[in-house]
Amino acid sequence: MPPRALFIAGSGTEIGKTYVTAALARRLRGQGRAVLALKPLASGVPPLDDPAFAETDTALLLAAQGLPVTPATVEACSPWRFAAPLAPDQAAACEGRTLGLDDLVAWCEAQRAAHPEPTLLIEGVGGLMSPVTADATGLDWLKRLGLPALLVSGSYLGAISHALTAIETLRAHGVLLAGVAVSESDGAPTPPEVVAEAIARRVTAPVAVLHRGGAFPDALAGVI
């Protein structure tokens, strides 16, 4: 029996995937469940000894798991880290590095095999269709892993269309949608609840709001 696992995908970039992943990890830990939250790819990452590293996605996920920031824990959470704030394939090219989908998928599957007990959360990078390698997108990565997806949407103007487009893409490619988390966007013209309600009218999966800094919503408790 494979371990329970979930892929946290985004309808766009910089919309709150890490806030949602961290909140879910904290909820599961609060229930006494072991959790392994990973962000295999990360761009725009400062050096580990830079004070700004404390605000990176990797550091936030480690904190949500009750883990210290050390070279070992950082490498175990985010083995592919790039300095440039670009799509991973472009950021890797800036450093003369390459990244292959086979390697990425193999690493994720190895983590599942090596950690049979914890609930596994894998956070994607960028939006669902963002490039992750020269030839593959986040959707390709997700499909290769064969995991259900928790889609994270923002609440900014246009978020409803972006979320529904991502949902339709997942449906067309046979990816199970476990739920939709609407992460509150700064300066949005409408409350995130309005966005969530509009999305919920058009999907059968549960939809709920996560305010920045808030707890993982009860309505999405069954996603994993």
The residues assigned a catalytic role are 39
Q: Please tell me whether 193 is known to bind a ligand.
A: no
Tell whether residue 57 is among the known ligand binding residues. Answer: yes
Does 156 count as an annotated binding residue?
A: no
Is residue 117 part of an annotated ligand binding site? Answer: no
Check whether 183 is labelled as a binding-site residue. yes
Compute CA distances 137 → 9, 89, 101, 147, 160, whole Å.
12, 10, 9, 15, 22
Name the CA radius of gyration of the chain, rounded. Answer: 16
Q: How far apart are CA 19 and CA 26, in angstroms?
A: 11
Instruction: Please indicate if the annotation marks 165 as binding a ligand.
Output: no
Is 133 one of the annotated binding-site residues?
A: no
| 199 marked as part of a ligand binding site | no
**What stretches of 11-137 show up as alpha helix (H) in DSSP?**
17-30, 57-64, 71-77, 88-94, 101-114
Residues 154, 186: Cα–Cα separation, whole Å = 9
The token pair that represents 140 in the structure block: 């390709």
Question: Is 207 marked as a binding-site residue?
Answer: no
Dist. CA 222–CA 199, nearest whole Å: 18
Q: Residue positions in the annotated binding site for substrate?
A: 43
Q: Residue positions in the annotated binding site for Mg(2+)?
A: 18, 57, 123
Q: Residue positions in the annotated binding site for ATP?
A: 14-19, 57, 123-126, 183-184
Q: Residue positions in the annotated binding site?
A: 14-19, 43, 57, 123-126, 183-184
